[in-house]
Amino acid sequence: MTEHFRHVVRGSGPGLLLAHGGGGSIEGNFGPILDDLARTHTVVGPDYPGSGATPRSDRPLDLDEVADELVAIAVGAGCERFAILGYSLGTAVAVRAATRHPDRVTALILTSGFARLNNQMRLAVDVWASLLHDDPRLLAKFLTLAGTGARHLESLTPEQLAAAVDELAAFIPEGSPEQVRLVAEVDTRAELAAITVPALVVATTLDGLASPALSRELAEGLPHAELVEIEAGHNIAVEAPDAWLAAIEKFLRSL
């Protein structure tokens, strides 16, 4: 499947593999911080099937296969060993990659993450999956409501809010059904204790999709994890890119 995962490679230096969220993309989830990360690292960013320029899969996605493909892409880009920056679903991909390829993965940065779904997230994912078959603008309204921090949401004018919904409706990747199904299947709790690399867990405290309690649980399960909390909703790249980047860069400097 490697040839089907389109990817970007930017910068130079130590390897940094990106794993994006379900229904997202590398540009959509990491765009505001990509250039900054590439100033100090070789950043490898693959898009999952049905996101970016990657063709949609004709079968369900498998977490093992996605993790293996991302690792293969990083190695193919010249990064023999690398840290992984995972966002949302990408945190589960990162954990699975560290479990299956411990000789490759040097550190984990897990943002808006989860090792399993709690009831709040399961309901949100169920609604998300159902709305994929309806009006994309209705889905965009739901994701904006659930994924945006209250402070940022209320700072928008009616015109800005309508534009944000329209932009999200136009962005929804065609591979979202397979990616959202993969979100619903995530349970990496059993493998956390065996991961011995340094980890930074970034909790988004205003997150209505992946609650901060799930990030705290993720951090508690990893033997060498540091927890940082940032006031933002699920869309941290838009709401708090500077704080996110600062936390990432501080952690990477410490390795």
Residue 221 is encoded by which pair of tokens? 């399960």
The 10 Å CB-count burial string (b at 16+, else e) for 194-205 is: ebebbbbbbbbe
Q: Are 191 and 221 in contact (CB under 8 A)?
A: no
DSSP secondary structure of 163-202 = HHHHHHHHH--TTHHHHHHHHHH-B-GGGGGG--S-EEEE
Instruction: Write the CA distances from 116 to 104, 170, 187, 188, integer angstroms.
Output: 24, 29, 4, 7
Q: Can you give the pLDDT of all 255 residues of the chain as single tens digits? A: 445 799 999 999 999 999 999 999 999 999 999 999 999 999 999 999 999 999 999 999 999 999 999 999 999 999 999 999 999 999 999 999 999 999 999 999 999 999 999 999 999 999 999 999 888 999 999 999 999 999 999 999 999 999 999 999 999 999 999 999 999 999 999 999 999 999 999 999 999 999 999 999 999 999 999 999 999 999 999 999 999 999 999 999 999
In this structure, the number of other CB atoms found within 10 A of the CB of residue 32 comes to 16
What are the tokens at 144? 């904006």
SS3 141: helix
d(CA 204, CA 236) in angstroms, rounded, equals 7
- Rg of the Cα atoms in the chain: 17
> In whole numbers, what is the pLDDT of the chain averaged over residues?
96
Pair 87, 30: CB distance under 8 Å: yes
The 10s digit of each residue's pLDDT in 26-66 is 999 999 999 999 999 999 999 999 999 999 999 999 999 99
Strand partners, 44: 9, 17
**Per-residue tokens: 177:** 């059904």
d(CA 21, CA 92): 10
